[in-house]
């Protein structure tokens, strides 16, 4: 099948919403190719565009039937909620620039978020807890002044009080090696009990599966990154206490009373996946979907990539944006040097599963509570999405199951998992019974093209593995959020594309 550019754009849009398999035309022969980019997420697409802008001939191979990777919008659910990358914030200069280059509008949600805050309900052991009475609640495990802290603020308070270093931008510097310990060890060293850590860190965790498997260095940098992004902390915080609605207020006009001046809680208009789709439409070379990479071979002067259908693609260099959680299933020849090999095979990834629910009737008006919830049960976090025409309209609810809870709900399988979520909802909120439908569900953990969500440095891994992680291996180069050092998430993906593009351009 041969497609012209206009057809290609149309087909990328269609592919985002359908499961149809598609293969786009080859426009360059292997002999003419300079670079093969593996992965059409933000980092792969940005690398491909930068290399093309510098005169190289590039082919992008993507395993899924859509572009965007961990940026994934549900175009068939009311409001187009996000399954992946949610919001950008003040320090996301590369994302804003990428949106400008691709003609995608950044919408600032801050006015809507601050204009109609709904708060979130707190459920513990199936019972609703009045947050005003938390300090004296019998299940409050915290001590002293920390008893005032709600579970989702406790660990941040502990980090602020006890973090042993302030040079957070250089979190990966070998001089901080002594802090490359588990968050669990850090918290217990400051008097925390297992009960406190379970409630105040492990429940609805943001990094790792439990406090045992995340390095204090990564945790500290991630918290710092949120602070750099000022109030946008709410939109991508470890509590997930965000509503992430869409609005139509341009970035420059975020002057609503009550909104911190200049605060950006940004999304890309029409759904975040519009950005990678628009970037893909700007590529000059091939973008081949449904191409699962199974092997990469490299020499000092060339490289090749083999896909599951047996086809071998050859070029002068390969840029690999695959998360290490999936790269570990790919045969790399020759093997990378031992530390990099170990990084590919052991870097951690947080388990996350989401359920997107649509309410037939706003049951929260019947029980008088906020639809948003922080629970210690299977529902994890429930985030109301406000992507409607009106600021206060709730278009869907997102259930975020993270860490051990994500692994737990995955064990049920899709259909039983949906039933679990609906019955748990009805248990906690009887008014929701019969009022909710599961419009979509996605496990990033069982998704073969992510096999987990964002990367987690386990204790000791920052010191042992980070420096070797993204080193070029002959003509094989690495990008992706897991390789970023100065930023995180979507911005980290673009940061890594900048670095890898320079590496490739200077080596060819």
Ligand X SMILES: Cc1cc2nc3c(=O)[nH]c(=O)nc-3n(C[C@H](O)[C@H](O)[C@H](O)COP(=O)(O)OP(=O)(O)OC[C@H]3O[C@@H](n4cnc5c(N)ncnc54)[C@H](O)[C@@H]3O)c2cc1C
Residue 415: how many other CB atoms lie within 10 Å: 10
Helix axes 216-228, 151-162, angle to 10 degrees: 100
* Closest distance to ligand X from the beta carbon of 354 (Å): 6
> Taking CB under 6 A as the rule, does residue 348 contact ligand X?
no
Q: Which residues contact 442 (CB under 8 A, 6 or more apart)?
A: 72, 83, 353, 354
The only residue of 80, 182, 321, 385 in contact with ligand X, by rule CB under 6 A = 321
Identify whether 6 is preceded by a cis peptide bond (ω within 30 of 0): no
* Closest distance to ligand X from the beta carbon of 489 (Å): 2
> Taking CB under 6 A as the rule, does residue 278 contact ligand X?
no
**Max CA distance (Å), the chain:** 72
The only residue of 200, 285, 323, 351 in contact with ligand X, by rule CB under 6 A = 323
Residue 46: how many other CB atoms lie within 10 Å: 27
Is 83 buried (19+), middle (13-18) or exposed (0-12) by CB count in 10 A?
buried
The only residue of 73, 87, 203, 243 in contact with ligand X, by rule CB under 6 A = 87
Nearer to ligand X, 89 or 187 (CB): 89
Phi, psi of 84, deg, nearest 5: -115, -135
> Taking CB under 6 A as the rule, does residue 352 contact ligand X?
yes
Name which of residues 216 to 245 contact ligand X (CB under 6 A): 236
- Residue spans of alpha helices (H) in 347-475: 364-367, 403-410, 413-428, 461-469
| Per-residue binding letters, 17-56, with ligand X (x by CB under 6 A) | ---------------------xxxxxxx------------
Count, residues near ligand X per rule CB under 6 A: 39
The only residue of 480, 495, 503, 504 in contact with ligand X, by rule CB under 6 A = 480
The only residue of 85, 141, 271, 348 in contact with ligand X, by rule CB under 6 A = 85
Nearer to ligand X, 39 or 384 (CB): 39
Nearer to ligand X, 59 or 64 (CB): 64
> Taking CB under 6 A as the rule, does residue 326 contact ligand X?
yes
Closest CA to 236 of 89, 95, 109: 89
> Taking CB under 6 A as the rule, does residue 63 contact ligand X?
yes
The only residue of 481, 499, 500, 501 in contact with ligand X, by rule CB under 6 A = 481
- CA-to-CA distance for 149 and 477, rounded, in angstroms? 45
> Taking CB under 6 A as the rule, does residue 151 contact ligand X?
no
Nearer to ligand X, 149 or 402 (CB): 402
Name which of residues 484 to 503 contact ligand X (CB under 6 A): 489-493
* Closest distance to ligand X from the beta carbon of 88 (Å): 6
- Cβ atoms of residues 250 and 105 within 8 Å: yes
DSSP assignment of 248-295 equals --BGGG---TTSPTT---EEETT-TTHHHHHHHHT-SSEEE-S--EEE
**DSSP H or E stretch at residue 121:** strand 121-124
Of 20-28, 146-154, 296-304, 317-325, the segment contacting ligand X by CB under 6 A is: 317-325
β-partners of residue 307 are 293
Nearer to ligand X, 350 or 369 (CB): 350
Residues forming the site for ligand X (CB under 6 A) = 38-44, 61-64, 69-71, 84-87, 236, 291-293, 321-323, 326, 352, 444, 449-450, 453-454, 480-481, 489-493
């Amino acid at each position: 099948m041969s497609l012209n550019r206009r057809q290609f754009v149309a087909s990328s849009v269609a592919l985002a919403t359908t499961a149809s398999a598609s293969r786009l035309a080859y426009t360059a022969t292997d002999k003419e190719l300079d670079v093969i980019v593996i992965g059409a997420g933000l980092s792969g697409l940005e690398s491909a565009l930068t290399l093309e802008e510098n005169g190289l001939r590039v082919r992008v191979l993507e395993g899924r039937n859509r572009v965007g990777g961990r940026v994934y919008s549900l175009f068939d659910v009311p409001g187009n909620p996000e399954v992946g990358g949610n919001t950008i914030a003040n320090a996301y200069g590369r994302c804003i620039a990428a949106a400008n280059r691709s003609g995608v509008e950044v919408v600032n949600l801050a006015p809507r978020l601050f204009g109609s805050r709904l708060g979130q309900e707190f459920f513990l052991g199936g019972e609703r807890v009045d947050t005003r009475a938390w300090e004296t609640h019998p299940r409050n495990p915290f001590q002293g002044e920390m008893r005032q802290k709600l579970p989702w603020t406790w660990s941040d308070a502990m980090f602020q009080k006890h973090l042993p270093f302030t040079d957070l931008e250089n979190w990966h510097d070998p001089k901080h090696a002594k802090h490359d310990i588990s968050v669990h060890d850090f918290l217990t060293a400051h008097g925390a009990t297992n009960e406190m850590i379970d409630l105040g860190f492990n429940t609805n965790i943001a990094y790792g599966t439990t406090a045992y498997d995340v390095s204090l260095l990564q945790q500290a940098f991630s918290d710092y990154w949120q602070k750099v992004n000022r109030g946008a902390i709410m939109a991508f915080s470890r509590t997930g206490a965000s509503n992430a609605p869409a609005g139509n207020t341009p970035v420059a006009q975020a002057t609503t009373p009550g909104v911190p001046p200049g605060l950006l809680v940004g999304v890309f208009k029409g759904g975040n996946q519009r950005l990678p789709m628009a970037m893909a439409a700007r590529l000059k070379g091939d973008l081949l979907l449904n191409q699962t990479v199974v092997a990469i071979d490299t020499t000092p002067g060339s490289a090749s990539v083999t896909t599951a259908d047996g086809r071998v693609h050859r070029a002068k260099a390969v840029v690999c944006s695959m998360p290490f959680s999936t790269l570990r299933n790919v045969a790399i020849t020759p093997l990378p040097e031992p530390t990099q090999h170990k990084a590919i095979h052991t870097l951690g990834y947080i388990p996350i599963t989401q359920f997107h629910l649509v309410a037939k009737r706003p049951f929260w008006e019947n029980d008088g509570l906020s639809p948003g919830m922080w629970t210690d049960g299977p529902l994890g976090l429930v985030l109301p999405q406000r992507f409607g025409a009106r600021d206060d309209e709730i278009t869907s609810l997102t259930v975020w199951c993270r860490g051990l809870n994500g692994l737990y709900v995955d064990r049920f399988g899709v259909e039983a998992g949906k039933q679990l979520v609906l019955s748990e909802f009805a248990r906690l909120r009887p008014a929701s019974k019969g009022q909710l439908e599961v419009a979509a569900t996605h496990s990033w953990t069982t998704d073969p093209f992510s096999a987990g969500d964002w990367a987690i440095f386990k204790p000791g891994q920052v010191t042992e593995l980070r420096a070797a992680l993204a080193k070029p291996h002959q003509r094989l180069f690495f990008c992706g959020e897991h390789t970023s050092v100065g930023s995180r998430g979507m911005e980290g993906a673009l940061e890594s594309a900048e670095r890898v593009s320079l590496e490739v351009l200077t080596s060819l």
